[in-house]
Structure formats: structure tokens, C-alpha cells
Amino acid sequence: MTKKIQVKETKRYWGDFEGSLESIISSLQADLDDGWEGIETEYERDYGDCHDHEVFYLYKHREETDKEYEKRMKLLEKEKAEKLKAKERRRKEYEKLKKEFEDTP
């Protein structure tokens, strides 16, 4: 049985990091209480004014759900079956070429 993995979950943080430290901490406290672990910064282009803007995302890690696990296992099984089919196709091609070139002087 494959072990469940940690999934990184993100959500956009719409707060502001300007102002008093007290108000910034206060705005983040509820997110911290909800299990959010950290903040990442990304830059997104606003094509209206052609400038990049900082966008903040909160993140946390959680164990994948049973549904996510089942989906991942099905995908792994499908990939394994596709690899076996590809290997069988290559083997058949090899056998065909081997037979073709065995008869060649």
C-alpha cells in the first residue's frame, strides 16, 4: 500500500502589509489559527497598466484525502499499464527486426 503524501494547499491573501505591525499581525492571526503555515510572494502582470504586482498566497500542508489518494493510485496504475504496453510494442518490434536481420547474410 502506498503511503499518503502531504499536499500543499494555497489561498490568496488579500490583506495588506502596510500600516502598523499590530494591525498586520491581527489580520493574519485568524489565518494562523486556521492552520495556515506561511506566506509566499508571486508577481503577476497587470496588463492594464503593464506593471508587475506582488501577490501574496498563504500555504499549509495537509495529508491527501482518501479521494485524492484513490485518484493518484488509479493514475499510477494507468501509467504502469501504459508502460507495459509500450514495452510489449518495443519487444514485438525487436522480434520482427531480429527475424528480419537473422535471414540477412
How confident is the model at residue 1, as a pLDDT? 57
What would the pLDDT profile of 80-94 be if each residue is shown by its tens digit?
999 999 999 999 999
pTM over 0.75: no
| pLDDT level of residue 4 (50, 70, 90 thresholds) | confident
How confident is the model at residue 105, as a pLDDT? 62
What would the pLDDT profile of 19-75 be if each residue is shown by its tens digit?
999 989 988 999 999 999 999 999 887 776 777 888 999 999 999 999 999 999 999
Q: What is the dihedral of CA 89, 92, 94, 95, to 10 degrees?
A: 170
3-state secondary structure the chain: CCCCCEEEEEEEECCCCCCCHHHHHHHHHHHHHCCCCEEEEEEEEECCCCEEEEEEEEEEEEECCHHHHHHHHHHHHHHHHHHHHHHHHHHHHHHHHHHHHHCCC
